[in-house]
Amino acid sequence: MIIPLDLFIFTYCGYLKKKLAIFYYYSGFIKKAVDQNRQNSYFLEYLNERDSYQNIEKIQIEENIQKITFGYQDNEAILTIEGNVFAKGIDINPNNPKEFINISSLIEDTNDRIIENIVSGANSIYLLTSNQNAYGIGSNSYGQLGFDYQILPKTEKPILMMKNVSKIFSGNNSKHVFLLNSNQELFGCGNNEYTQLGLGESRKERKIQKLTKIQNIPKGKIIDIQTSYYHSIMLIENQIQN
């Protein structure tokens, strides 16, 4: 059975070409990421094509690695099979930005520290727990953690953003985030300067809000959302009526 899919793009078209150049520029620095049988460590090979300079960095993690993500300014996060998240970066651990720390252990609710998935924004990291709660850590300069950026510009420990979350969508060049609940209701916050949240108004969304204003999107299961600084792409399962 073939399931038809619809693809929708929210974009500020005048910046699309520039956005693609930025993405290529940053992706060129990471040549490959190898998880050696998910045991204890992984390698990142940084490649600077201009200087043909290579450097291998080995990170010791005493757990089995499941997933790695990265954002700006060496912000990196590692999710282990055991449900812990180790992260580093200037927005995560400003006193020692090159040191990996267990950020999942910083969640105040000790019964909510098992992490099922991680997603990186440009300067933020999002955690989805086994209890289906979404947490954020790092920069909140555009309200991408769901709080007023003037009151809370950044946080060095995970803060609860929203409960009953099934998926989190953001990208390592993004300062906005989407959250999907179990009822297929979509929420979002952060940078909306180029209407990348699908809203008509251009502004920073300081609080998480239900995205009911998105126009011309048919009802259907949201399969995926990919985001960058200037736009978002949504993939929806089309509901065909007989």
Q: Which H or E element spans position 24?
A: helix 16-27
Q: What pLDDT does residue 47 have?
A: 37
* Single-letter amino acid, residue 225: I
Q: What pLDDT does residue 1 have?
A: 42
Q: What pLDDT does residue 177 have?
A: 96
Asked if residue 128 is part of any domain, the answer here is: yes
To the nearest 10°, report the CA torsion of 146, 193, 176, 224.
130
Per the structure block, which two tokens stand in for 207?
């609080």
Q: What is the pTM for the complete model shown?
A: 0.77
Per the structure block, which two tokens stand in for 194?
């180029």
Q: What pLDDT does residue 7 have?
A: 45
Asked if residue 164 is part of any domain, the answer here is: yes
Per the structure block, which two tokens stand in for 23?
């993405």
Residue 195's Cα: distance from chain center in Å? 18
Radius of gyration of the chain (CA): 18
**Based on the structure, what is the number of domains in the chain?**
1
Asked if residue 198 is part of any domain, the answer here is: yes
Domain CATH code at residue 204? 2.130.10.30
pLDDT by residue for the chain (242 residues), tens only, comes to 444 444 444 443 333 333 333 333 333 333 333 333 333 344 343 333 434 444 555 667 778 888 989 888 778 899 999 999 999 998 898 899 989 999 999 999 999 999 999 999 999 999 999 999 999 999 999 999 999 888 889 999 999 999 999 999 999 889 999 999 988 889 999 998 888 888 777 677 778 988 876 655 666 688 899 999 888 888 887 665 54
- Domain assignment of residue 32, given as a range: 5-237
Asked if residue 242 is part of any domain, the answer here is: no
C-alpha distances (whole Å) from 93 to each of 47, 59, 157, 159, 225 are 25, 16, 9, 15, 28
